[in-house]
Structures are given as structure tokens and as C-alpha cells.
Chain A
Amino acid sequence: MSIWLQILISLVQILFTASIILVTVAYLVYFERKISAWAQNRIGPNRVGPYGLLQPFADVLKLFFKEDIVPHAANKPIHTLAPILALVIALSTFAVIPIGPPIYIFDLKIPLVVADVNMGILYILALTSVGVYAITFSGWSSGSKYSLLGGIRSSAQMISYEISMGFSIAGVLIFSESLRPMEIVNSQAGFMWNAFVQPIGFITFVVAAFAETNRLPFDLPEAEPELVGGYHTEYSSMKFAAFFLAEYANMIIAAGLIVTLYLGGWQIPYIENLGLSYTLTTSLQILGFFVKMAAVLFFIIWVRWSLPRFRYDQLMNIGWKVMFPLSLLNLIWVAILVMLMN
């Protein structure tokens, strides 16, 4: 395979993945508003386009025409850098999440993942940790107390929950014996989904994912009753939009990660026994990935409109005294399972 062909394939994959994320973000915002409306017996956006389907585009257009304000006390370069950093990290994390089994076109094996790297999970952990910088920078550089408090809270929260997240992932890695997301998905064939094999790890990971993406009930960094807007208080126009986009892109990545690590990725249990054609099986599996992801995203939104926000000390208590021991317990459980199965 020539190098140019490889670059071409990569470019197409990047374009495809980026457009998936952007379109999903747009409609995630729409469904966030719709689901919140349904949960509160309202109708939700229905004015722009049929069923309000063009609402996200109207929102973005509005943000484009807003004035871009930089506060006098702000540190300008970092104030500008923070939203860019947030967006870049949010968009690049999806690169290692496989959306389907490898497909073959003219004897060419094309993996349905932008970068099939052998340390994919480490890559994700590293990038999401850098994501904390975006929020901390924005909080610090805004020159505002609300922003600063939001940024500090966010860094403390993310660092605490990263630990239980890492330990829950460790349980998955022991099973799959690989850091490559493709292998992790392959190790969950049939009904060996990690969510069933290690339910405690699944719960701690989902909770940590909520905390990492700053979603309710852990949205302390932007708790609007206390901190106005948290770290993005001093942002307007497209810089704010970048943060908004990054937040929702992070949600998508969290959902993709939950599906990949715990819900069997693109696997549909025992689909190979049905005797369907290769093309149909593959497209069903890709569809299966997106259906699972949509279900997880729905769950994330559903939780947001059901549960109240935790107090900050409660958040830290849960992170350190409950989630961390639970993830260790899960690790022991997985170790016992592996020992028994061998």
C-alpha cells in the first residue's frame, strides 16, 4: 500500500469522524433541550424548522453574531488559547474509538477508526487529562473570581475522579490483555460485555465519566447558582461556543468510551450465527455501535434532568471514599475471575 493511499484513507476517516462528532453535537444539544422539556411536561424547541430540527443551527448563527468580549483583567493570549485547547482535545480524542469492525474494499483492509494505535486507552486518558488545562486556563486567565473558582473546582474534581476512572479501566484491560480499543472490543464477544462481567467497575466508570465531562450531578465547575457560569463566565461569542461544543463533544467521547469498554463496542451478540451476508453484518454492527452510543447519551441527559447537584464536599467524599475503594474492589474481582477462568 503506497503512503499516499494511506494518507488519503486517513484524511477520509478524519473527515468522517469529525463530521460525525459535529452533527451529533448539534443534535445532542437539540435532544438535550427536547428531553428536558419532556421530563418537565413541556414541548421544547419547535419553532425553527419542522419539529425545531434547525434549532442548533439557529443557536450557532446567533453565537456568530455576538460581540466577542475579553475582560480588561484577562490574560489575553491564554484567554484565547483555552477554548481552542478545549475544542482540539475534545475533537481529537474520538480518533481511537472504533465504530465498527475492519472493512475490506478491493482487498484493502480499512479499520473503522482513525488511529488504530496499540495504546489507545492511554491516549484517551492522557488527552482527557490535558483537557483539565483548558478549563483551568480559562478560569485563571479570565480575571474573575467566579471563573477562577470554577477552574479550581474542575481541576480538583477531574484529578480525583481520574483515579477511580483509571482503576476501572484497569479491570477492563486485565480482561482484554491489550490497550488497543479494537482488541478490547474483540474481547467482549457474545454476552461477555464488561458491563455484565464487572458491574461494579461499570458503575464507577460511568460515575467517573459523568464527573470528567462536568455533567450534572457533578457539574460543580459551572454550578450556575453559585458560580454564575463557572469557568466560561467571561466568554462570549464563538469562544463560548467552542467551550459549549467541547463539552458536548466530551459527552460523545464519554459515551463512545463507555460503549467501547463496557458495552461490547460494535459487537452484536451472536450475530455471526444468523448467517447474514458480510456487508449486512458489518453495517448492522456499525449501526449497533451508534444505537448503543445514542442510548448512553440519552442516559446521560436523562440523569441530568433527574438528579440534583452534589455539594462540593459530598462530591469529594464520593470520589475518594466510595468510588476509589469500589474501583479497587472491582480490580480484585476481575483478578479473581481471571484466575478462575485460567
Chain B
Amino acid sequence: MAKKKRLKDLSLLEQIYLPEIVKGLALTMKNMFKPSFTMEYPEVKFEPGASYRGRPVLVMEENGDERCVACGLCSRVCPAIAIEVQANDTDKEKERYPERFEINMLRCIFCGFCEEVCPEEAIIMSKDYELAYTNREDGILGLDKLLVPVSELQERIQFLRKYK
């Protein structure tokens, strides 16, 4: 720890106090010419990196099917009990699909456990952070709002393959 400076330790110049004021003024003046950090939000939007955990979404394959096989692991692991899955059978190769898949964004805590536990890379944390709803019903997202084309999620998927 740095030793605390007492009044008697100060040099004469520091005790006069005026040079220190000038130093402080110079610092603020220097800062006045630095670019500002402010991002003018509605016009300029923050672009998060791949490690960002935003709204969880379901992956939609190129043919328009959801990748999810409705195993229910995400629902099981969710600490906030925000995910509800109802499975049904299908004739396709994956045999099961989610008939109903709801994420309650009012409960979601963005922990990313659902993404971590998913065996199919079917639920992914997106970069979407604009999550304001005007009523509670809007905060519960169904399949129609959750499905996102796989091409838009490539960055996060690559990130998960590397670091998960």
C-alpha cells in the first residue's frame, strides 16, 4: 500500500496548492479534446462480441425446420424455470420435434445453461439485447419468435465449438 502523504510530507510547491489546481485544470482541458465514449443509442447500436449472451433463440435449419429434438434438457436445467417444451412425434429422421416451445423472457436470467446443455446445438444465446415488452404476454416468446436462421448464428456457434 502506498504510504499516505501528510501535510508535512508535501513540498512547498504542493502546499501552495495553486500549481496543483493548474494540473487538475490541465487534465480536464486535455479530456475536453478526447473523443467521447457516448454511443447515441437509438441511432447507433452496440454490436456485441461472440461471447455475448443475449436472448436465447432456437436454430432454424436451411430447410425451415427447427433443429430442436424436444429432449427437454434445457427446460430441466433452466434455473429460473423459464423454458417450457412440449414434444411430439414426427416422421422425419429426428423423430421428435417441439410442438410448443416457450421461453418466458420475464424469467430468463441469461445464464446460458440451456445453450450449454443442449446436445444438438439447437438453442443458442443470440446478440439480441432489446428486450422491452409493453405487457407480460409479449414477454413469453413462442416458436414463431424464437426460430432464427442458422446463418445468423454462425459466429456464436463457432465460439461455442471453440470454448465450450
Residue A191 at the chain B interface, CB threshold 8 Å = no
A43:B31 contact, CB within 8 angstroms: no
Residue of A38, A42, A303 near B25 (CB, 8 A) is: A303
How near does chain B come to A327, taking the closest CB pair, in angstroms? Answer: 15
Among the listed stretches B35-43, B62-70, B111-119, which one makes contact with chain A, having 4 or more residues with CB under 8 Å of it?
B35-43
B24:A41 contact, CB within 8 angstroms: no
Kindly report which residue of chain B lies nearest to residue A318, judged by CB atoms. Answer: B17
Complex: A220 Cα to B27 Cα, angstroms:
24
Residue B136 at the chain A interface, CB threshold 8 Å = no
Q: List, in ascending order, chain A residues with CB within 8 A of B38's CB.
A: 41-43
Complex: A35 Cα to B36 Cα, angstroms:
12
State which residues 32-53 of B face A: CB under 8 Å: 32, 34-38, 40
Residue B81 at the chain A interface, CB threshold 8 Å = no
Interface readout for B62-98 with A: 1 if CB under 8 Å, 0 if not?
A: 0000000000000000000000000000000000000
A41:B25 contact, CB within 8 angstroms: no
Q: List, in ascending order, chain B residues with CB within 8 A of A43's CB.
A: 36, 38, 40
- Given A43-B38, A306-B27, decide whether A38 and B21 contact each other with a Cβ distance below 8 A: no
- Secondary structure at chain B's binding surface: helix, strand, loop or mixed? helix
Q: List, in ascending order, chain B residues with CB within 8 A of A306's CB.
A: 21, 24-25, 27-28
A302:B25 contact, CB within 8 angstroms: yes
Q: List, in ascending order, chain B residues with CB within 8 A of A203's CB.
A: 18
A38:B31 contact, CB within 8 angstroms: yes
Residue A307 at the chain B interface, CB threshold 8 Å = yes
Residue A27 at the chain B interface, CB threshold 8 Å = no
Residue B29 at the chain A interface, CB threshold 8 Å = yes
Q: List, in ascending order, chain B residues with CB within 8 A of A307's CB.
A: 21, 24
Interface readout for A297-308 with B: 1 if CB under 8 Å, 0 if not?
A: 000001101110
A39:B28 contact, CB within 8 angstroms: yes
Interface readout for A279-316 with B: 1 if CB under 8 Å, 0 if not?
A: 00000000000000000000000110111000000000
Kindly report which residue of chain A lies nearest to residue B25, judged by CB atoms. Answer: A306
Kindly report which residue of chain B lies nearest to residue A36, judged by CB atoms. Answer: B28
Complex: A43 Cα to B36 Cα, angstroms:
6
The residues of A with any CB-CB pair to B shorter than 8 Å are: 35, 37-43, 46, 203, 302-303, 305-307
The residues of B with any CB-CB pair to A shorter than 8 Å are: 18, 21, 24-25, 27-29, 31-32, 34-38, 40
Task: Apart from A35-B32, A41-B37, A43-B38, list 20 A-B contacts with CB within 8 A.
Answer: A38-B31, A38-B36, A39-B28, A39-B31, A39-B32, A40-B31, A41-B31, A41-B35, A42-B36, A42-B37, A42-B38, A43-B36, A43-B40, A203-B18, A302-B25, A302-B29, A303-B25, A306-B21, A306-B25, A307-B21
